[in-house]
Structure 1
């Protein structure tokens, strides 16, 4: 009989067992390995904590993530009370009173002038619907601040007015520079008094007149109007020309007020008082009616 094989020892069995398990047995670690692993764990923990902290600070921490997550529940805005603010300083609510516009200064009227006259150099076409043609010249006293040409143009417009004599067949008028039928002179008060007195009329430095040579207009009335006339000096010039030219076309007598509150006739001496009438600068009313009143004896 041959010899039997010796039984393996316990040591041999354990080594074989370890080999059979594919080396899964406990291996020996070096001292360096035992130091490196804990260090890596600490670094990982530190990095992870910092990232979490940064993630929280950026507003996406757990609470913020829950708030940002979509939900099916309706959201309700919570009203907030705004912080009180100081009212802006305001000025007084009472508006300041507007300053009154300064009244235009009245033009200065010289009391006297040179006594000689310069004529307008312009002429015009006849105006009027019928009647005798009357040609007229316009002259302004030398040395006063008034253009003869401008005065002539204004008188031409007055005679052509729709409520004037020419528009209602009482005469035709034409501005000329020569061969005139009558002359309209604008003179200082002293010169006007002298020209009117030559015709036997006392104008006292205030009034206009009509003479055999033509019409004399007091510069004071031309520039300032009349204290009894409700209207501007420009409107009062219509009354001056219409009244004096009324004498030129044959209305020799003056008229007076036809009744309380009615328009004064243009042939009334309105500067001496209205006697209850309303001042008026035109021979005709707006509807074409002739404005007249009782004749002054």
Structure 2
């Protein structure tokens, strides 16, 4: 997959990657308050796509059967790191058809997580048969440079700093989507979510699918489509399921898009 080159980025350089903060308040993070000049102005999602946002209940719906994945045994998750990142010096094949979006993967230094291995896992997630690419919502390719967006995995404090520079409140717990890409909280990557019935490995599908959903133009969130139904991937499931069953993929096994009412 290519050799790993250590790329040290200052927090300022990473945070100010481009665009106005108020135009990128998507993800699990709490957006800045609405006001003049801070209207949600992204293009409307495709007709098939409802999106829900802030869910009130902090408790999980545990009615779903256990997942088949073997449980993860993550090491202790550090709360902070140096704010510098290693880029996966890897180039992958183009996944499926449609508008090509090239991405690179960076992992914060000193957290005992391989950038190359993280990039390989993200490649597999984006190539999943229930994912965006498999259903004509674009194609993706892992690259080491000249990327359209970046996926960064960062410690909670670094994630807060990166997201906070865009006006987003992640509170040491959440992921976000910024002007130049996705910020993944290492805590969520390693431990999953208390509201999610499944392993951390499966929850990583939800993280990537949700944030990349914003990257492909889904600006708003969805709510639960009804008690017992699978939660839409564009639902902020970490904030509560509201009767839905946790779910990590945009599409069901039969290829039907999983949606719910638009909420934010």
**What TM-score does the superposition give when structure 2 sets the normalisation length?**
0.72
Is 2:110 the partner of 1:116?
no
**CA drift at 1:107:** 1.9
- Is the contact between residue 261 and residue 278 of structure 1 (CA under 8 Å) also seen in structure 2? yes
| Counterpart secondary structure, 1:282 | coil
Q: Among residues 176, 187, 198, which one is paired with 1:209 in the alignment?
A: 176
**CA drift at 1:106:** 4.6
Q: Where does 1:144-223 land on structure 2 (aligned, <5 Å)?
A: 144-223=111-190
| Counterpart secondary structure, 1:234 | helix
Distance in 1 (CA, whole Å) between partners of 2:174 and 2:72 is 24
Is 2:229 the partner of 1:245?
no
Q: Which runs of 5+ in 2 are unaligned?
A: 1-70
Q: Among residues 206, 223, 234, which one is paired with 1:256 in the alignment?
A: 223
- Paired residues in the alignment total 194
**CA drift at 1:122:** 1.2
Distance in 2 (CA, whole Å) between partners of 1:171 and 1:165 is 7
Higher RCO, Cα 8 Å, sep 6+? 2
Bigger helix share? 1
Aligned-pair RMSD on alpha carbons?
A: 1.1
| Counterpart secondary structure, 1:205 | coil
Corresponding residue number in structure 2 for 1:125: 93
- Is the contact between residue 107 and residue 224 of structure 1 (CA under 8 Å) also seen in structure 2? no
Corresponding residue number in structure 2 for 1:292: 259
Moved more, 263-272 or 130-139: 130-139
Q: Which runs of 5+ in 1 are unaligned?
A: 1-102
Corresponding residue number in structure 2 for 1:282: 249
Please say which structure displays the higher CA radius of gyration: 1
**What TM-score does the superposition give when structure 1 sets the normalisation length?**
0.64
Moved over 4 A (4+): 103-106
